[in-house]
Amino acid sequence: MVILIPMKKNFLLCGLTGWCMEIIFTALDSYRKRELQLMGKTSLWMFPIYGMAAFLKPICKLIRNFPTGVRAALYGAFIFLGEYISGSILKKYKICPWDYSKARTNIKGVIRLDFAPFWMAAGLIFENLLMHAPKPSRQISES
């Protein structure tokens, strides 16, 4: 039970952070297309997918002394794996909110290799959140 509380908190933190990053990323793509409304978008399916970044915490602890580039590459690889698995499952049920099949660097339409730098940066952001999140405090009541 004690371990689940930080995991739930980290899952929520990563899910919300991922959502926000995706909205900003898609809004910037709108800007690139000269759509000045800057509409960012996401899907409810993305919350648990981004929330799964909470499971990176043990990896963050294990590789904390590695050079930044190596850590970023490892996080990017894990994120690609998560995106591939979740995208494949969602695609099987025809509910995948993304389709990269028109991109040159796509793999089965569910991942884009040219997004590697973005996933590497996202991994470092999740690392920072997970390793520097405030610890839950215990309140001791005086009787």
pLDDT digits (tens, 9 = 90+) for 46-70: 999 999 999 999 999 999 999 999 9
Residue 91 structure tokens: 């695609």
Mean pLDDT of the 76-101 span: 98
d(CA 25, CA 39): 10
Q: Are the C-beta atoms of residues 18 and 51 closer than 8 Å to each other?
A: yes
If one compares 51 and 143, the residue with the highest pLDDT of the two is 51
- For the cut 80, the answer to whether the pLDDT of residue 134 exceeds it is no
- For residue 86, the one-letter residue type is S
pLDDT at 133 over 80: no
Q: Which two tokens stand for residue 42?
A: 């996401």
Q: State residue 63's pLDDT score.
A: 98
Q: What is the pTM of this model?
A: 0.88
Give the integer Cα–Cα distance in Å for 63 and 49: 22
Annotate 30-63 with b (16+ C-beta within 10 A) or e (fewer).
eeeeeeeeeebebeeebbebbbbbbebbebbeee
Work out the pLDDT band at 5, boundaries 50, 70, 90. Answer: confident
